[in-house]
Amino acid sequence: MSRLLDYTQVADMKCCTTRHGIPRGIEMDFKAGDTVQLKSGGPIMTVDQIGQRMHSSVDSAWCQWFEKTKLEKGVFPLTSLTKA
């Protein structure tokens, strides 16, 4: 069932999110050196840096981890991560 929001609810939502729709404060929850994991599981990763990918407005974390002895790297949306 769909529900319409009135103007005050929309205004409240905008004050509580970044321009990318991420709840305010989430971008400060992660910093370089933190250990994180995908909310869906997977290896423990170390955050290398936080930012936005080129040509994207998604706040992301550049992470690295070891798969046996091989260093792996990846970029993940902040909303997909949790602190390990």
- Residue ranges and CATH numbers for the domains of the chain are 28-83 (2.40.10)
What value does the mean pLDDT take over residues 65-77?
Answer: 97
Block residue for tokens 């909310």: 39
Per the prediction, the chain carries an average pLDDT of: 79
The per-residue pLDDT for range 16-49, each reduced to its tens digit, is 555 545 555 544 589 999 999 999 999 999 999 9
pTM of the shown model:
0.67
